[in-house]
Amino acid sequence: MKRLHTYQDLKKLVGSHYMQAKTAQFFNQKVAWVSSGAPVELLRPFDCITIYPENHTSICGAAKVGPEYCEAAEAEGYSRDLCSYFRCDRGSTLLGTSPIGGLPEPDFLFGCNNICGTILKWYEIVQRHFDVPFLFVDTPFVHSTVYEHAVEYVVEQLKGFIPVLESLTEREFDEEKFVKGLYLSKECVELWKEILLFGAHKPSPLTCFDAFTQLAAIVSLRGTEEVVTHYKTLKTELEERVQKGVGAVDDEKIRLLWDNIPVWYAMRSLSELFEKHNACLVADTYTNAWASANIDTGNPMESLARNYLEIYLNISMDLMLEKIQNLIKVFDVDGMVMHSNRSCKPYSLGQYDLARNIKEETGIPVLIIEADMVDSRSYAEAQVKTRIEAFLESLGG
């Protein structure tokens, strides 16, 4: 796979972000541990440094140290059936290490259950460990439409956090700064969306493995100037590739859609396997989950609530199917690969039904592989590779 030059910039961006967090106290800034689906824009006007344990555990996964940390959590009594992001985070805290030297301690926690119910229990454990406040946002599940009462319910919670945040950070809430942040966030999201849409080109200048890596910026630093600048550079690089007709994979013959969180420790071996068969994973449901944000200037808090209610893991299977079908159409894929992720139940539940529906309604073949995002003990490489190769052979690769 041809590596994007922007990869180095991303490493610097994420590196300096963690560095900032480690020195936050010298600048009178508070460190918040935040879940990936939490409405982080609310924290921006308070100059908080946001740290994403989920991003950190994916780094641990990619560095192949997941099992070590998971085992430390298991030794404390946590079941192996629990989310490996949680186990890895817990293990890293207990051992006080990680590939980046561990996370800076939190001043408070900010979590939202729009991605899963595990977040609530996970953050309660973190809360007990560090003895810090935990601000929790409850987002009702969206079965068919987003009800007004659900929006009001979330808005009320968000508004309720303002005085708490004011006292925690010793800063006053600045509405103007908040709205400005929302617009920056929207700009980030829209740039991200444009970047992902480059995958619709033939050949595609990027693969979902690039997107998985570049995702770190939109997840951890959404709503900041740095991300806007970074994504603009990335966009230019992709534009150049398209102009020159350069594909991320040589001689692209098969275009695929990926579903679920990456298998972080197998990113390289999997990307090489697909490339060997001239197959490009041109899009995925995971990184596209950060590609929508609408803002109503008249009612910013409501827009924020609405955006975070509608995220991919907080919607019904019917709505997920609609989104997948749209991706199949936009990216013109020949097949779909679903990662049945032992850790992530909300993401993996229903995949067999979704696969059947997709096969029936769109006629494209779907492959389901079994793995785990961080815990490589749940991954049988030879079996997964055989499945993928057989799937690609049946697609003519």
Partner 1 sequence: MWCGIDIGASTAKAVVFDERIVSKVVISSGFDTKRTAEEVFEKGLKKAGITEEDIEYIVATGYGRIMVSMASKTITEITCHAKGAYYLDNTVRTVIDIGGQDSKGIALDNGKVQDFVMNDKCAAGTGRFLEVMARALEIELRELGELSMKSQEKVSISSTCTVFAESEVISYKNQGKKKEDIIAGLHEAIASRIYAMVNQIPVKEKIMVTGGVALNQGVVQALKTKIGKEITIPEDPQIVGALGAALLARETF
- Contact residues toward partner 1 (CB under 8 A) are 352, 365, 370, 380, 382-383, 386-387, 389-391, 393-394
Q: Long-range contacts of range 353-362, CB-CB < 8 Å, 24 or more positions apart?
A: 353/317, 354/259, 354/317, 354/320, 354/321, 354/324, 357/321, 358/321, 358/324, 358/325, 358/328, 361/325, 362/325, 362/328
DSSP letter at 102? -
Question: Min. distance of Cβ 371 from partner 1 in angstroms?
Answer: 10
Would you say 240 or 393 has its CB closer to partner 1? Answer: 393
What does the chain come to in residues? 397
**Integer Cα distance of 74 and 82 in angstroms:** 9
Would you say 126 or 355 has its CB closer to partner 1? Answer: 355
Would you say 300 or 365 has its CB closer to partner 1? Answer: 365
The pairing of strands 49-51 and 134-137 is unpaired
Other Cβ atoms within 10 Å of 95 Cβ, number: 15
Question: Min. distance of Cβ 394 from partner 1 in angstroms?
Answer: 4
Contact call for residues 309 and 142 (beta carbons, < 8 A):
yes
Nearest CA-CA partner of 161 in 37, 300, 34, 42: 42
Would you say 259 or 372 has its CB closer to partner 1? Answer: 372
Would you say 146 or 367 has its CB closer to partner 1? Answer: 367
Identity (one letter) of the amino acid at 191? L
Question: Min. distance of Cβ 214 from partner 1 in angstroms?
Answer: 32
Would you say 160 or 396 has its CB closer to partner 1? Answer: 396
Other Cβ atoms within 10 Å of 186 Cβ, number: 19
Identity (one letter) of the amino acid at 241? R
**Integer Cα distance of 213 and 11 in angstroms:** 9
Question: Min. distance of Cβ 224 from partner 1 in angstroms?
Answer: 42
Question: Min. distance of Cβ 345 from partner 1 in angstroms?
Answer: 17
Residue 250: which residues within 8 A CB-CB, separation 6 or more?
Answer: 275, 278
Would you say 179 or 380 has its CB closer to partner 1? Answer: 380
Question: Min. distance of Cβ 370 from partner 1 in angstroms?
Answer: 6
Question: Min. distance of Cβ 137 from partner 1 in angstroms?
Answer: 37
